[in-house]
Amino acid sequence: MGNGPLSGVRVIELAGIGPGPFAAMLLADLGAEVIRVDRASAVREGATSGGTDFSNRGKRSIAVDLKSERGRDVVLRLVEKSDVLLEGFRPGVTERLGIGPDDCLARNPKLVYGRMTGWGQEGPLSHTAGHDVGYIAITGALHAIGRAGGPPQVPMNLLGDFAGGSMYLIVGVLAALLESKTSGRGQVVDAAIVDGTAHLSTFIHAFLATGLWQDRRGVNMLDTGAPWYDVYETADGRHMAVGAIESQFYAEFVRRLGLDGEDLPDQNDRDSWPALRERFAAAFKTRTRDEWTEVFVPSDACVAPVLSMKEAAEHPFNTARDVFPELAGHRQPAPAPRFSRTVTETDGVPALPGGQTREVLDDLGFDDTETLLKEGAVAQA
């Protein structure tokens, strides 16, 4: 619980994996009080920390037996004192547990009930299993990523789970919270990764509608089709990223690459793109990545070194902005975005499942904490 813009907002997170926990972490980074409801079975004797699951940072954890009547009642009592609930189970699971939207809104009509799934709460695939790669595949986004003549390239699980999933869940929750201030009523937010990923593709669909985008990989301006929007290998086997789209930035790129004044094809002559790519590739092979970095950074050529994740944490630009501070003994991404007045902060310590059960219940005014612990409705790590 911090001092960010969401200070004073209480969020109940029903423990899950992937986009749900990350969304709850971001809300915690922004100052919300996040209480993670872990399964009582997750409590392990002798555990002393929450490990390195950074998505659990900034939270407090209470371990609850959700299959018991007393455990279910604990969650509903928490709901009465909270603003938001987040869950990422398959459709119908929380209803069967007795902590679905109707159950929770009956206890707290102002509650925002955020639901995170891949396929959505309804539809022909809503009750089937899935993962990021399948969600982005069915939206057309995966098909568009990769080089011409090659297979689709999987962009880790950033595009679906976290961009199309977590971020849209957060936007929906914050919008519903804002609306509730005037209506006095809560509502359910149905955040589906397929919906979010499709929505993220709006810009490309606009290009497709106007004929400026071909529905093929690696032949367009932003998908490695254009030689001035790509990555190039350097003399030491590393890479530089080039994004010199605008004419003035392209001119600066060509000049710093050492090809200024040479007889190069026109930047936007698609038929000449293969030849232009060969010229760029040959030039980049003459120096190492770090040597090219000295040439290009900083400049308006829109060229940057491709850094590994460990290198990124130590890069001067990132250290100057403290993008990867050392928190709880590890380099972690700092809270984002940044605010001028309600400054965000985090100690970076992941919550241990059930680590704050007694503390949370006592803080929220439960007068039967010891009874609940004795009965096994809740557990303290």
Q: Active-site positions? A: 131, 161
* Phi, psi dihedrals of residue 355, rounded to the nearest 5°: -70, -25
What is the distance between the alpha carbons of residues 138 and 192, in angstroms, rounded to a whole number?
Answer: 13
Query: At 251, which helix (H) or strand (E)?
Result: helix 247-257
Radius of gyration of the chain (CA): 25
Element (H, E) at 253: helix 247-257
For the chain, the residue count is 381
Taking a C-beta distance cutoff of 8 angstroms, is the pair 145, 218 a contact? Answer: no
Q: Which helix (H) or strand (E) covers residue 188, if one does?
A: strand 187-192
Report the phi/psi class of residue 156: left, alpha or beta, with left for phi > 0 and alpha for psi in -120 to 50: left
The separation between CA 207 and the C-alpha centre of its own chain, rounded to angstroms, equals 26
The letter for the amino acid at 200 is L
Identity of the residue numbered 318: N
Q: Which residues make beta-bridge pairs with 117? A: 192
Distance CA 170, CA 4 (A): 15
Q: What CA–CA distance (Å, rounded) separates 33 from 79?
A: 13
Residue partners of 18: CB distance under 8 A and separation at least 6:
88, 132, 157, 161, 165
Burial of 168 (C-beta count, 10 Å sphere; 0-12/13-18/19+): buried
Cβ contact 345:3 at 8 Å: yes
- Per DSSP, what are the bridge partners of residue 38? 63
